[in-house]
Structure 1
């Protein structure tokens, strides 16, 4: 992997996280290219990471692996621009939520391997969850390259492509759900009389500790929840209110909405 040149086409927030993870893993900065629309953004990327910022066509010409990180609605235009520069042997990695590998394959030379990846923003702290799906022409070797690309960002898992919209709903958008829960806990703590900073420290550390315990203990969430819940205790009273207010239904409806929106994005981009 370190011998290959990787280009991040559309190095926005997520693209930059992939770029930073790649360099953090020891990939030579002179083998990392990036593209950006604005000159000030290009200067930012070069100053921060020491990478070369080039045009989309130059990136497609020089790189062995092209990670496409543009907005889904801009992807078609970018693919039309670089298609003639995508020669045999290049691997395309899509970071575009909602877009199937066929969207890329239909706009690129016949046989171009495409890998679809849904990652998330905890990549910033090395704890992303990245789901990898190979397209029709992608081999196990191509999947291994994508795995090497995203492992520095956190955990990776291989899923069939038809599950990617569900992945988007659960882990792609997932960090926002947890931030909202923590935000609500902080506000509730302030309402109960805690200083805001104290409420924040309590809620954030509780979230971090609970997540680590859930990951490392191997216990089912229900088992861990029950271990905290004493009969007729404070936790039981709180959980009763959450259930009464339809917490499970709200989450189910929310994830269904995210799933549907991912499918709508794919339809709009055709």
Structure 2
């Protein structure tokens, strides 16, 4: 393929998520010299340089070269990172993809001088093992071609789903952004309970993790929903029914809904708190 099919993509910040996305793009055949990464922590860049990617400690140098700029720094420092780049971004007009939690399109656009094509994305940590799930929202200035590019980048490490209202990014955060932690917590509890029932920690852990993997694979490949799969493994008066009855008595469904609502609410609060730095 020609290099025209591979725009120059630059990651400002070379942490775990940027590393995952860069790795996914490389695995899909994106030429390493057309992937740039910038970071103030130079050792963070070494592995990328060894793979043939372009690396720099100068964000302005990256912006001057990039057709797509992925914002992958911590939300708390985003304003300080972006404001010095506003003139360069205005001149270059790259597609901006933000993977920083809690930062609204309005705040990002203001820090960059206004009128930018910005896609706000919420990936999750399974992207590190190429099984991520991301929600994406496009600002008004984002074209159809920009949408295709953004989806191409995020789908390099898993599933990419568009939402048409920015407020729904908070719902994405509650479902998939923070979702891995819910499953990890359930795994912890199952392992601990298995040990209490007499299994060794190693055996309880192996059985729990394989069961989680198997259940997810069944749910992904089945032609019915998780509700029907649950019914199919729940025999009347059987062992599974007894376990599920305890969950029901504890109002498990309501508990999950409360937890996810708290997560979404906090996402909205963060957007307000972090956006207040717009004019510092």
TM (normalized to structure 2)?
Answer: 0.91
| 8 A contact 2:10–2:66 mirrored in 1 | yes
Who is 1:18 aligned against? 21
- 1:98 alignment partner, one of 96, 99, 102: 102
Structure 1, gaps ≥5 residues long: none
Map residues 69-88 of structure 1 onto 2, 5 A cutoff: 69-86=72-89, 87-88=91-92
Map residues 38-187 of structure 1 onto 2, 5 A cutoff: 38-47=41-50, 49-54=51-56, 55-86=58-89, 87-160=91-164, 161-187=166-192
Structure 2, gaps ≥5 residues long: 276-280
TM superposition shift of 1:45: 3.5
CA RMSD of aligned residues (A): 1.5
| Equivalent residues, number | 269
Measure, in 2, the Cα distance between the counterparts of 1:4 and 1:68: 16
Does residue 31 (structure 1) correspond to residue 31 (structure 2)? The answer is: no
Provide, for residues 199-246 of structure 1, a one-character-per-residue CA deviation record: whole Å limited to 9, x for no partner: 112111111111111111131222111111111111111111122223
Paired residue secondary structure (2:149) = helix
| 8 A contact 1:2–1:28 mirrored in 2 | no
Paired residue secondary structure (2:142) = coil
Displaced runs of 4 or more, over 4 A: none
TM (normalized to structure 1)?
Answer: 0.95
